[in-house]
Amino acid sequence: MKNIKHFLYTIVLLSTVGCSDFEELNLNPNEPTTVSSGVLFTSAIRTSIQTTSNEAFLLSNNAAQLTAKTLRAEVDFYGWNAFPTVWEGLYESLTDINNAIEIAQADENTKMEGALMVMQAWIFSELTNAYGDIPYSEAIDGLTANFTPVYDTQESIYTDLLSRLSQATTKLSAAGSIEGDILYQGDAALWTKFANSLQLRLLMYASAKTNVATQFAQIVSQGQIFSSNEEQAALDFLSSFPNQFPTLPLKQGDFDAVAISVSAVNALQANNDPRLSRYARPDNLDFDNPTFTGVSNGVGGQTGSRLGLAYFDYPGQITAAEKGLSYAEGILMTYAEVEFLLAEAAVKGWITSSVETHYKQGIEASHQYYEVEYTPNGWTNFEDFYQNSGVAYSATLDIWKQKWLSMYFTALDPYFEVRRWYSEVNGFDGLPFLNRPIGSNSNNYELPMRFLYPGQEQSLNAENYNEANSRYSAPKLINGKMWIVSD
């Protein structure tokens, strides 16, 4: 009875308190009621790059034959599905980005808005390059989510992304400050260079369907693009979980499910390229006299050289730290890639500069980034390697091969680039540095052109999902060519 009386007394007491007083009683003074754009920015950067770095390990390196699956080899034999962790992880990050943009606008922090727009464009570019037409304009409308967004065409998405990246560079020169920036530590000049460099990448992807020469040349002429490894977009992860590079905290068996590919081993060994000892650890664990075994894509059940020291610490073996090497970063875009873009643009006549100079600088930038050692491979320095190894420039195919080798763990873009070249030369036969997958194959040995849309879209957004799928005429939807892919 005493407890009942106390309960009734509490109801009467609360009924006599005004609404505003009731709200005050429910406020937790130790818990913030608002979140800053900087906090959201930190979360979006970390989450999106963790997503793409993990998928580089599981998907893009394998689809591009830089690595190969030894277990669960569906990616290698083209038994592709929606890869929902890509979709979910990147759209989750976009929610934070869009909310942060609204807060930055309310705070009149234009510089912050510019950096957020660049990150937003990079995330959307990864999504559209993976799936094709995607929810874009109606995907996330600020703080109010639209649960049945239309799927914008990739052509319209590209047009808007390029426009927004250009707008972002203007905003980055305006008033304000960039908060929560774990990528560039608030340096607006580096965000500007990333925005312009990303435009070059997107223009190259789009060049199969539209004339981009003038726009590409204009960006290059401004000079605000990556010019060193120190400027490239790569996140330096922390040393402890959960802020480590995604492969570092894996169980050993899960990490061993991926090994260096036979394609990469053959390409690197043909020129005694010292990057091989960074991409993979020697079978004999002797870095002075290393031996390597590549795994064939599309087979599974094989064993080969494990991935390099930067990606995992094996108990009882030498670690990256002990060898004085850096651990893996989450790569969005490298300086080496920019140099290879400039080399290819020079071949196409879009810019008037030396093809070989850009090509050579691209290889050297990649070597420097991976902290290679020349002596164990018989070279005295980079110049000796370039002049005498057989990598010296002779044709466009050289640019593609060296760009491919430099894009190890660069988000989903190793696959995007191989798809571009594969489509341009009509198959693996035109890409001698790659191998036609062997063993049983779920797609008649043809490289898939896209990821499937997640199944949840079919149940939650059926009308727009079905309409978007209808735009891909291939019998198997993974072979449906998106706008940027050559016909």
From 55, 62, 57, select the one nearest 93 (Cα to Cα): 55
The pLDDT assigned to 238 comes to 87
Task: List, in order of start, the domains of the chain with CATH numbers.
Answer: 37-241+337-479 (1.25.40.390), 253-308 (no CATH)
pLDDT at 140 (0 to 100): 66
3-state secondary structure of 135: strand
Q: What is the mean pLDDT of each successive set of 10 residues along the chain, which is 487 residues long? A: 33 36 47 79 97 98 97 93 95 95 97 98 98 91 73 98 98 97 98 98 97 98 98 92 90 97 98 98 94 94 95 95 96 98 98 98 98 96 98 97 98 98 96 92 95 93 95 88 93
Token couple for 298: 């599309």
Residue pair 348/217 in contact (Cβ under 8 Å)? The answer is: no
The predicted structure's pLDDT at residue 18: 43
Name the region of 220 (left: φ>0; alpha: ψ -120 to 50; beta: rest).
alpha
DSSP state of 57: I
DSSP code of residue 477: G
pLDDT in the model for residue 34? 72
Residue 145 has what pLDDT?
65
pTM: 0.92
- Concatenated DSSP letters of 319-367: -TTTTT-PPPPEEEE-HHHHHHHHHHHHHHTSS-S-HHHHHHHHHHHHH
Buried b / exposed e along 290-300 (16+ C-beta atoms within 10 A): bebbbbbbbbb
What's the confidence (pLDDT) of residue 287?
A: 93
Burial of 63 (0-12, 13-18, 19+ CB in 10 A): buried
Distances (CA, A) of 172 to 123, 308, 368: 18, 37, 29
Closest by CA to 81, choosing from 72, 68, 90, is 72
